[in-house]
């Protein structure tokens, strides 16, 4: 129960929240590997996940990744991927608190949910997807890539200064891969099975296994709709017709405006009011209709806006050129590629230096004759996901992973370096 003023308000989902009384608690806090322990640690497993994500390099890079609008001009007021994540965390935590769900788990999922995003937003994701399909015969989607990154790619220094994988709990990893909010449902419920997350072969195939994960999925939608409109207006993307359409929608729903403040407030209130364990997480018929209208408006006036075509072509050019340059090294040198990269690495004009130092962390090879590689590798006790690079597909996977982790700014700088060579 929650006391608000003199009113006792029931926490409708308290009995199904993830806590140590939950019958699946041990499975939900399970990690793939044993994480080092501190005897005096006061954090819960999910609070620890939150701080591990917060301290990760992948999270820091989100501040220079596109949400919707490519910010080449450096407008300080255009939403970045990191700001979007913070909006999702704020919205989902508000909902979780009101419903009586586990706030620490909700916040951890929200903070981590977009770690798998490529540079240049969904356009960058499309480019990398095509490359993965052509060269690796596999798909690429950011929800799956998010789990892959926190499981196998992203590293964090431990209390002995050694680099380890993030190794998050099952509940948080599940929330990451299940967060796709593009599937329209009147109400959502968590799935029952604790399945192998590797079985997810497309976005939206399964709901999250926890109510907290389902909250983040809805919060993702709540967070981006209004903010995308705000950014479109700030950048002059909306025509007179588009602005009039927003005013018409506001009048129909008895609102002064359709903006971030209105959308977030109304959706949070309606979700908390209409949802129950029996009926699922639901916005109600009227709000669902309004949201679908706003989504359709955004699609027509923002996401399919002709002004984005130049950005799409540019980002495609940048990423494809970077890929073909890096891919060409293996074509030329084969399994000896690292030795050759070592010769190039000391030329500060080439981003190849960063790639060489990065890939060494994930290779299971004898670096005794390559001093710089030996020094890096000796600090890494993470998974060696690229093996000995004896197969080209191992190397291509490394290139794609390196590119997926780039920021917009880094990718552009790398592209400009290529132009000068």
User: Residue 171: which CATH number?
Assistant: 1.10.3210
- Of 395, 393, 361, the residue nearest 379 (C-alpha): 361
**pLDDT band at residue 7, thresholds of 50, 70 and 90?**
very low
The helix/strand/coil state of 182 is: coil
- Asked if the structure places residue 292 within a domain, the reply is no
pLDDT tier at 2 (50, 70, 90 boundaries)? low
Q: Is the pLDDT of residue 394 over 70?
A: yes
CA dist., res. 143 & res. 200, Å (int): 10
Query: Does residue 397 lie within any of the structural domains?
Result: yes
Q: Are residues 216 and 322 in the same domain?
A: no
In a domain, 415, yes or no: yes
- Residues 144-154 as b/e (b if ≥16 CB within 10 A, e otherwise) read bbbbbbbbbbb
Compute the distance between CA of residue 236 and CA of residue 362 in angstroms, rounded to an integer: 45
Assign residue 69 a region (left: φ > 0; alpha: ψ between -120 and 50; beta: otherwise).
beta
On the question of pLDDT at 223 being above 90, the answer is no
Query: What is the pTM for the complete model shown?
Result: 0.93
Cα–Cα distance between 235 and 153 in angstroms, integer? 35
Report the number of distinct structural domains present in the chain.
2
Where a domain ends, among 179, 208, 228? Answer: 228
Predicted confidence band at 53 (pLDDT cuts at 50, 70, 90)?
A: very high
What does the block give as tokens for 228? 């995308």
- pLDDT confidence of residue 8: 47
Nearest of 168, 152, 23, 158 to residue 104 by alpha carbon? 168
- For residue 314, the 8-state DSSP code is H
Q: Which of 23-37, 76-90, 178-192, 226-240 has the lowest mean pLDDT?
A: 178-192
Residues 40 and 181 in one domain: yes
How far, in Å, CA of 339 to CA of 373, rounded?
10
Is residue 5 in a domain? no
Write down which residue in 228, 247, 275 finishes a domain: 228
Any domain includes 235: no
**What integer pLDDT is reported at residue 28 of this predicted model?**
96
Is residue 349 over pLDDT 70?
Answer: no
Q: Which segment of 94-108, 114-128, 188-202, 314-328 scores lowest on mean pLDDT?
A: 188-202
pLDDT at 75 > cutoff 60: yes
C-alpha 237/C-alpha 234 separation (Å) is 8
Q: What is the mean pLDDT of residues 76-80?
A: 79
* Same domain, residue pair 180 and 324: no
With H, G, I as helix, E, B as strand and everything else as coil, classify residue 79: coil
| Domain shared by 66 and 211, yes or no | yes
- Is 257 a member of any domain? no
Residues 77 and 171 in one domain: yes
Residue 136 lies in a domain: no
Residues 220 and 343 in one domain: no
Residues 93 and 194 in one domain: yes
Q: Quick one: 195 and 322 in the same domain?
A: no
* Judgement on whether residues 176 and 65 belong to the same structural domain of the protein: yes
pLDDT at 381: 92
Given 228, 263, 288, which residue is the final one in a domain? 228
* Residue 360 domain-assigned (yes or no): yes
Q: Tell me which range, 15-24, 68-77, 412-421, is most confidently predicted by mean pLDDT.
A: 15-24
Query: Do residues 182 and 44 both lie within one domain?
Result: yes
Residues 204 and 316 grouped into a single domain: no
Residues of the domain holding 54: 11-115+154-228
What is the pLDDT of the chain when averaged over all its residues? 88
Residue 411: what pLDDT? 94
């Amino acid at each position: 129960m929650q006391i608000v003023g003199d009113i006792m308000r029931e926490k409708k989902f308290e009995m199904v929240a993830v806590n140590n009384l939950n019958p699946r608690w041990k499975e939900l806090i399970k990690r793939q590997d044993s994480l080092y322990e501190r005897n005096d640690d006061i954090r819960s497993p999910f609070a620890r996940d939150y701080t591990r994500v917060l301290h990760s390099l992948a999270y820091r890079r989100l501040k220079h990744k596109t949400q919707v609008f490519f910010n080449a001009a450096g407008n300080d007021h255009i939403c970045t991927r990191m700001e979007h994540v913070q909006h999702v965390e704020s919205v989902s935590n508000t909902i979780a608190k009101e419903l009586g769900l586990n706030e620490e788990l909700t916040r951890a999922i929200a903070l981590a949910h977009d770690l798998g995003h490529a540079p240049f937003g969904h356009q960058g994701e499309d480019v990398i997807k095509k490359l993965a399909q052509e060269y690796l015969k596999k798909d690429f989607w950011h929800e799956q890539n998010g789990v892959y990154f926190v499981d196998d790619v992203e590293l964090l220094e431990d209390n002995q200064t050694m680099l380890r994988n993030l190794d998050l709990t099952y509940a948080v990893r599940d929330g990451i891969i299940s967060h796709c909010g593009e599937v329209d449902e009147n109400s959502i419920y968590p799935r029952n099975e604790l399945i192998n997350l590797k079985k997810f072969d497309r976005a939206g195939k399964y709901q999250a296994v926890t109510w907290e994960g389902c909250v983040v999925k809805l919060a993702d939608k709540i967070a981006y709709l209004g903010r995308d409109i705000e950014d479109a207006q700030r950048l002059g993307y909306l025509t007179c017709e588009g602005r009039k359409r927003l005013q018409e929608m506001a009048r129909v729903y008895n609102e002064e405006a359709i903006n971030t403040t209105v959308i977030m407030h109304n959706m949070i209130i309606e979700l908390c009011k209409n949802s129950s364990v029996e009926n699922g997480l639901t916005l109600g018929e009227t709000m669902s209709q309004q949201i679908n209208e706003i989504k359709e408006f955004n699609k027509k006036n923002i996401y399919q806006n002709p002004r984005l075509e130049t950005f799409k072509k540019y980002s495609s050019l940048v990423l494809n050129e970077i890929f073909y340059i890096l891919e060409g090294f293996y074509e030329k040198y084969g399994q000896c590629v690292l030795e050759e990269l070592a010769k190039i690495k000391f030329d500060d004009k080439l981003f190849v230096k960063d790639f060489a130092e990065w890939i060494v962390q994930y290779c299971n090879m004898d670096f005794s004759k390559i001093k710089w590689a030996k020094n890096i590798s000796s600090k890494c006790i993470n998974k060696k996901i690229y093996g000995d690079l004896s197969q080209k597909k191992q190397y291509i996977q490394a290139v794609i992973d390196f590119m997926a982790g780039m920021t917009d700014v880094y990718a552009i700088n790398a592209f400009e370096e290529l132009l000068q060579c």
